[in-house]
Amino acid sequence: MFSIMQLALVYVAKQVVTYASFSAARAAVVAEGDTPEALQEDAYARASRAAALICAPITGETIAGANVAAADMQAATIQVPGWGRLAKSGISGALKTHVSALEFTPDGEVSVTVTHYYEMTFPVVNYIFAWMYSDRAPASQDAFGASGTDVQGDEGVFEQTVGIWKIDAPHMRLRETTRLVVP
């Protein structure tokens, strides 16, 4: 029963990451900049903020073992006008949600890939899932480090920097890519 419930939560999390990818692409479309570099920087900042905002409700609270300081997570907390600070948005923004690829294509489209490291929540079942995937993981990664997907873009650098696979709870990498036409 716990396995079925955990799988249902993973499915919901995957849908949230899909919407976060769409929101990140929409945020990147409205980016502004005088130069291509400034445009890319603004688009990345907007996309990262939008993805963290959407993924905050599914972000787990376990951070023990990460390389990111609590002050960095507090600085990444999103302030919503009229609502105040969004709970867990700092953890999502600094540690568990990452825009791993953002590019403006020559066809007039923007492509955004959002990766979220979903914390498995059900006791015992989470470690069983981690054990099942550990056979597929390369020796350099822990249990959910591979989770059936290869590292894309700068995900590997992000994972090493924040130490996501050293956190004291099993995580699963969820990734989604969205392409939108720039008007």
The residue with greater pLDDT, 46 or 155, is 46
- What per-residue confidence (pLDDT) applies to 150? 65
Interhelix angle 2-29/125-134, rounded to 10 degrees, is 70
pLDDT band at 147 (very low <50, low <70, confident <90, very high): very low
Check: CB of residue 31 under 8 Å from CB of residue 61.
no
3-state secondary structure at position 44 = helix
Q: What token pair was written down for 25?
A: 């692409």
Residue 140 CB: number of other CB atoms within 10 A?
9
3-state secondary structure at position 157 = helix
Distance (Å, rounded) from C-alpha 8 to C-alpha 81? 32
Report, as an integer, the average pLDDT of 127-141: 59
The residue with greater pLDDT, 81 or 131, is 81
pLDDT band at 136 (very low <50, low <70, confident <90, very high): very low
Closest CA to 161 of 82, 78, 75, 95: 95
- What per-residue confidence (pLDDT) applies to 3? 87
Phi-psi region of 78 (alpha: psi -120 to 50; beta: other; left: phi over 0): beta
The predicted model scores a pTM of 0.86
- Give me the residues paired with residue 122 across strands: none
3-state secondary structure at position 116 = strand
Distance (Å, rounded) from C-alpha 28 to C-alpha 42? 8
- What per-residue confidence (pLDDT) applies to 72? 85
Interhelix angle 2-29/36-55, rounded to 10 degrees, is 150
Would you say residue 116 has pLDDT above 70?
A: yes
- What per-residue confidence (pLDDT) applies to 133? 60
Would you say residue 11 has pLDDT above 90?
A: yes
Domain boundaries, the chain: 2-181
